[in-house]
Amino acid sequence: MARKISFINYKGGVGKTSLIVNTAAALAKLGHRVLLCDFDTQSNASIWLLRLDRWNKINAAGEGSIYSIFEPGRAQVRELVVKDVVEGKTGEKVLPGLDLIPTTFNLVDLENEFNGDPKRPHYLVFYEQLATIEANYDFILFDCPPNILRAAQCGVFASNEIYVPVNPDALSLIGFTLLVEKLYKFHQLSASFRSSAMGVPAQVQGLVFNSIKAGVDIEVPKMRLQLRLNQFKTAKRAAPAAKIFSTQIRDAMVVRRAVALGLPAALVGADVEAGPAAGDNVVNDYKKLANEILQHAII
């Protein structure tokens, strides 16, 4: 069974996409089979990994992205998978084992124009189709927007685990709090569509501090977050094993540069601007996080 994980926070810009892309790359480098599903209409993860030229073709064609499965008969999830998505300059596959289900800007139609069948909501359609390819993967990761509207609901419904990227600020704490409330409401709303074979709805399993600048003390925001997490655990709104991951991802120029180069940070060569040490260190953070996720037992 693949581990299925949504990365989500109600606060935007905390680093959900950077974290999921680089963690997915770290898991693939460790030899795991990883599928990344992009459920954010901004398409940041898709543009990053496909690079603009390949992504533009899918966006212009209006085919080959996740929204197609919601237009009956148009496409199945399994047809949308871009195998070994990361390519070098001459199109060579440079990160075998990392696949992508891309999104394009038409995903926004799922929030507006889409009139689904109330008996088969969008998240159930996605769940059933994903099940046909799940056995091909060790990890299926969902990059979500900072909300639980329809697109994110697909990822959340299919997930067994929720990870919450946070920055050391008050707004991240508010975003986490709002997320847990909205998650609870969505689980209630979708409960009648869950069969016992699907397992229990996904709860927050982990919080990950991202983009931590050198010399910044995060003890106070960390303590506040831990207190809030403890309250949620007592109220059974977060998993008993939920924790703040001990791995923190440092702020590093190479993470921003990696987006422009269309590569995960681990594949960005050392250069003057990014600095070899900076790159190596943050890449090590992602690797440590991947190992911590591997060791995390879901309770």
* Interface ranges with ligand ATP (CB under 6 A): 12-18, 40, 42, 44, 145-146, 210-211, 249, 251-252, 255-256, 259
Considering CB distances under 5 to 8 angstroms, the limit depending on partner class, which of Mg ion, ligand ATP, none binds residue 68? Answer: none
Residue 299: how many other CB atoms lie within 10 Å? 9
Write down the least CB distance from residue 8 to Mg ion, Å: 10
Binders in 22-61 for Mg ion, by CB under 5 A: 44
When the beta carbons of 62 and 146 are compared against Mg ion, the nearer one is 146
Comparing CB distances to Mg ion, the nearer of 11 and 124 is 11
Query: What's the Cα-to-Cα distance from 213 to each of 169, 218, 249, 250, 288, rounded to whole Å?
Result: 13, 10, 9, 6, 18
Q: What is the Cβ-side half-sphere exposure of residue 155, based on CA atoms within 13 angstroms?
A: 29
> Which partner, ligand ATP, Mg ion, none, binds residue 15 by CB below 5 to 8 Å per kind?
ligand ATP
Gap between the terminal Cα atoms of the chain:
16
Q: Element (H or E) spanning 60, and its range? A: helix 44-61
11 binds Mg ion (CB under 5 A): no
Closest separation in Å from C-beta 248 to ligand ATP: 9
Select 86 or 133, whichever has its Cβ closest to ligand ATP: 86
CB nearer to ligand ATP: pick between 133 and 180? 180
Please answer whether residues 7 and 143 qualify as being in contact, where contact means their C-beta atoms are separated by less than 8 angstroms. Answer: yes
- Cα–Cα distance measured from residue 183 to residue 189, given in angstroms and rounded to the nearest whole number: 10
**Under the rule (CB under 5 A), what is the footprint of Mg ion?**
16-17, 44
